[in-house]
Every structure is written in C-alpha cells, then in structure tokens.
Amino acid sequence: MRLHAIMEVTVKESGDTMPQVVVVNAEKMNFDGKLDFSVLSDSVAVYPSSTPEKLLQRIQGAQVVVTKELPVPAALLEQFPRSVQLLVEAGTGYNNIDLAAAKKQGITVCNIPAYSSQRVAHTAIMLLLNLASTMQVQLAMLAKGDHRNFTQHLLVPHTEVNGKTLGIIGAGHIGKQVIKIAQALEMHILVHTRTPRKDGDGIQYVGLKELLQKSDYVSLHCPLTPATRHLLNRETLALMKPSAFLINTSRGALIDEPALIEALENHQIAGAGLDVQEQEPPAEDNPLYTLPNVILTPHMGWKGLETRQRLVSIIAQDIHQFLAGSPINVVG
C-alpha cells in the first residue's frame, strides 16, 4: 500500500507513481489525527489543506479527489486534469461544488448521505432542550460567580417540551431522526417539505407559513439550494411566535443572518440554537457570540469520532463502487 505523505504542511514526494485517490483538505474531518484514510485506496495521498493552486498540482494523475466543504467552482473544475473521474464531497451537503461544471468535465460527483443523521439529530434536540431551560443564561451566571439560581429561586424560564409544537423544515434522514426523538418527548409535529405528503404517523404536513405561525420550535433540516437560501428572512421570521425558538443544524445560509440578529435583539422571537452560521467561523464581532438568547456551537453536529469514522468508511464505499462500475450516492 502506498500512503503518500500525510498531515504535514509540506508534503514530501515519495517517488512512487501518482496516487489514485487524493484527499485535498483532510484537516476539516481529521482535526484530531484519529482517522485512517488508508481504507480509501491502495494508493492515497492525504493533505491537511490545499490552496486552489496546490490542489491542481496534487491531483495530477489522480482518478478520485476527496474534498470537505471546499469551494470547487467552475473555474477550478475547468483546470482539473483529464485523469479525474470522481469527486467525492465528504459530507451530505454539496452546495460547494458546481455540479453543472463537473458534469461538463465528465466528472461524477458523489456525497455521503446519512453518515451523521443521528448525531446531528441529537445536536438539534440538545439545542432544543437547552433553550427550553435557558441553559445558556444559567451557565453564563455560573461563569460570573452568580449563584442566585441556587440561593434564591430560579430566575430564568424553564419549560416543558411535551405538548409543544415542533416544526420541521425538511424531512430527510436527519429530519426523520429529529421527529423520532421529538415524538418520544411527546411533542406535536408539523412538517414542511418540497413534496406534499399525506398526514400520518402523528405528523401533520403543512405549508411553510402555517408551520412558522404555529410552531413553538422550528428546526431546519433542508439542503442549501438557490431556492432555500435565506428561506428564513425578515418576512418569514416575522411569522414566528414571539415565544418561539429557531434551531439550525443544516446550513447557515438557510437563514438571513442580519435579519435573524435583528429579530433576536428586538425579541421578535425568543431565541435561537445555531450549530451552523452563514460565515464559518463567524466574524469576531458577530453579535451571535454574545446575545443572551442564543446558543452557538461550532458546526459540531457531525464531528463526533464515531461519526467521522463512519464518514471515511462511506467515502471508501463511494470510491470502490465507482471504480467497480456501480457508482452510488451520485448527485447532480
């Protein structure tokens, strides 16, 4: 097995033939160095990060390129060597890749669906439960040495979620997992999807407007596309109850962030739990870091070790099936 120089800023050339598989920005998924990429191929080169210029140098002669949330626009794809046949996006979302340009170049694009469904669903429910108990404020009080929640009475809202209405926007793998947990918590479920469905299994399918107006919690689980960009904006946020919370573990740009900040600052909605942001990481002066009615996490839903190990295993399946002539998880 030829495992070309790994996880160093300066990659040493081994003198072997060109690698079959190149992972161009592995540090996005292997930030702790615990993943084994040798399962991808008998000949694989792994780089922690790559500029566009370095990427083009490193994929010369390769059949397969693996990326993680790396922008791959048409201008870059047009310079790919003819040897590249498969581009694997190491995640569920693939809005970072120009699919039309890839198709024009004859490059198949695959993603990794369902590898993190349960873990991301757990993150959404974690945010929901913490918002229900105003946990972010309780922890901030403790960090400041303020023990009044112990020495006096509870000074923050602490509400039950059973009997409350959870609105799910997008009912794919992750959305379905969230529904499963929420139903165990005895929440009422409203769902909005692109394709109308009949009510059943305790789920009521409704339009976006009705969902936003009736939900106590709104959780986003749809892909980012031109049609869903800023789906939650000044107009749609205004439809939510003042007591409602917004949760996003999908893609940051589903929400118009300045409009959300305005709604949070003006208490137009009660709060938000955001594992994703429109810019990641957010700018240092972003108000989301300090707003008391926000729980902000660093796109961690998919980052558990078991989840990332599963990710690498499915990347290997994508590659092996493609090279065997039976591609899976093809997008676009």
Q: Which residues are catalytic?
A: 251, 280, 299
Q: How far apart, in Å, do the first and last CA atoms of the chain sit?
A: 33
Q: Say how many C-beta atoms besides its own lie within 10 A of residue 62's C-beta.
A: 24
Exposed/middle/buried for residue 322 (C-beta within 10 Å: 0-12, 13-18, 19+): buried
Between CA 197 and CA 170 the distance in angstroms is 12
Peptide bond into 298 cis (omega under 30): no
Between CA 87 and CA 67 the distance in angstroms is 8
The radius of gyration of the chain's CA atoms, rounded to the nearest angstrom, is 22
